[in-house]
Chains A and B, each alone.
Chain A
Amino acid sequence: MDCCPSIKNVLLLDSEGKRVAVKYYTDDWPTLAAKLAYEKSIFTKTLKTNARTEAEIAMLDGYIVVYKFIQDLHFFVTGGDDENELIIATVLQGFFDAVGLLLRNNVDKRSALENLDLILLCLDEIVDGGIVLETEASVIATKVAANSLDGATSLSEQTISQALATAREHLARSLLK
């Protein structure tokens, strides 16, 4: 009934389908077992597809799943059956690019786990309780990194602007394609 676009979950799995970071926003999967079963199902059903250059899409168990892979990381965003596919895809792209910026384009499972705090903050800044909070990757990354400016391990102001520059370059390249 609610006509505000909503996201059911955002998942980041590794190349064996294990969790790196996941966030569920609805009670569609009430138990841990149900969640794991769902993750396993989408992981195996999308495993053979090639979602490395362009985000891919699938319809599973009455949900729309949009996904993209890089190295040994699998990104998924799930929405309802009647959701606008492009909105779900925008959220995925925002998450994907923001992680790229935060990990300084060194996106793999290892660095994702080493910077898990950033990934979790990133998830927190993209969707709040199913409602899309922000979709612009550079904004998300700034919001996440602004908190860790003081931390020695995190991005400094300098690298942020670098990161943004890389993002711009990425964007330009994808436009030229």
Chain B
Amino acid sequence: MQAKKRYLVLFFAGVCLLLLFCFGGIHVPLSRRGLSRRHARTPHPGAQWRRSPGAVQPYSACEQDRNDDANDHISPRQKRDAIAGLFSGKHCRMESCFDFSLCERNGYKVYIYPHQKGEKMSESYQNILLSIEGSRFFTPDPDRACLFVLGLDTLDRDQLSPHYVHNLKAKVQSLPLWNDGKNHIIFNLYSGTWPDYTEDLGFDIGLAMLAKASISTEKFRPRFDISIPLFSKEHPRTGGERGYLKHHTIPPFRKYLLVFKGKRYLTGIGSGTRNALYHVHNAEDVVLLTTCKHGKDWQKHKDARCDKDNADYDKYDYREMLYNSTFCLVPRGRRLGSFRFLEALQAACVPVILSNGWELPFSEIIDWNTAAVIGDERLLLQVPSTVRSIHQDKILSLRQHTQFLWEAYFNSVEKIVLTTLEIIQDRLLQHNARSNLMWNSLPGGLFALPQYSTYLGDFPFYYAKLGFTAVIHVVTPLVSQSQPIMKLLAALAKSQYCAQVILVWNCDKPFPAKHRWPVTSVPVFVIEGESQVNPHPNPALLRCDYCSIYIVSVEVEFAFTVWRSFPDRIVGYPARSHFWDSNKERWGYTSKWTNDYSMVLTGAAIYHKYYHYLYTTYLPASLKTMVNQMSNCEDILMNFLVSSVSKMPPIKVTQKKQYKETMMAQVSDAPHSRASRWADPDHFAQRQTCMNKFANWFGTMPLVHSQMRLDPVLFKDQVSILRKKYRDIERV
């Protein structure tokens, strides 16, 4: 019994020892084995990175720079000078290949070489040159230019093309101002030819910048070259069509998910992706059609699928597919870019780009992820599941961005050219250049001029986006007689939103003595003569012409509260309308009382100060001189401008139809000369002419009709007058 117990105890002790061994002892050899494994020459592929708490040495950034003795390396000035020699050709950058001093001296002006007789020039290139000539950057004097544009057509450098200009190399070299291409920009749409379609232009461009379609990232010199979209010769020069999107659909899906209709290259460069499209085609919501029928000898390369493909191809209409699809495939062709890109953009069909290595159009400034799906040719088979996974909110946003970008930068040759020029200008402006936000949000970079201000809050467009608020600033150009002015001044100053009054004294008479001024709670400044209104942080601009002095204070007050809700539009009182006169085939102007309006008179209107700046800088001299000579139509022009920026009608507030009726009655000493101009039939005819001149320059009719006006909430309601805040408005 005793022995039994002893054995039992011994057995137990043995078990305990075994346990002990298992817990601690086995562990040691295990970990040793782990170590030895890591000592092996190559680690096991499954080995993991283990956090090492031991690294204590800093990588030493601070010390480093101190130790690199500041005076050791060569003078930075010499280094800068050396750059120009070091980096040319395919390493060109603005720093090394562009002469900034020309632009500093002359301002940003563009010169076009005269057209040489006998040189053929394609319609597209003519349009490009005409757009530059019509722009505010153009100068006819080469000595005053900063940028040079060739008079030789370089758009089509495909030797097999009818537009190919021969012997360009010699012609370019012989140009007197060529200067190895410094400060030149060369436009190109097509380069290279069958079979390899290289991006070689067939002549040495030297230090010139390249504005080229279908440019590849390998060839593209960042912040030097500009990628432009491929556009057809039918692309309108000015104006341009609006986007196809007229209204949203919720949910934002169209009949097809993804479509494509185009040529299939049986062999050669760019054939890979298009040959594989049939894998993804499902004939239901993903419709990708190709045809082999193109070129003379397609039968020779014809493959087994050609006949079926060709038959399917003819069953669908390209336009119908384009307008009824959520996404449109934009695969590379022989070259990287294709017409399909702009077509899809206009059709509000979100482009799915399959073109590896294509530097997208205006990639320097446009964030294409907002408007397109950038795919990878290697992942063609994933494309359907990728686009299916895109959330409908995102689709809604992508689609609107296609429309914004199309209308802001692509819908006419002029827009494409101006965008190109503005991008280069931004590079010259350096720290004053537009931010990405200005390029990528409404109304787009062409309407947001950075020379005005670099502060986003100074523009009427970004309040909501950045949560800014605005305050008022008043400018009143005046003509004569001081008494009504003083009345106005007193009235304006009462307005709680008025932060400052600036009088532009445009009159032969001397300015009234200061003691005769009314007592105001806001500062009043006087600018004599036709000087430029000085920039001031307060963005709202109340323009009061002479004839509108009698606008009572409450009306200003009310109009201003309205304007704060619509800072990017004109808010005014009397309204006018335009219509298409189909008999005379021209635009008509009417001041009759109608059920709608598309303009408000700017005699008394509130609009953002920025539009004032845009008016003076953006519009061409020709229109402004015309307005000045007639001393008429400036309000129409302003309405055109604002509507083309905002794409929206102006806003009419209160009942007021005309200035004169009430004014004449109220103030007896009003000068009849000015007031009577409204009755003048010539005056009216002039305005008619203006309308058509303006529409012609804008290339389209930007004005939009509205059927409503805004009144105070209790306007003419049968409630106690004491409850109404703007009771005086009803009395007018």
Answer yes or no: are A and B bound together in one complex.
no
Question: Residues of A with Cβ closer than 8 Å to B?
Answer: none
* B binding-site residues for A, Cβ under 8 Å: none
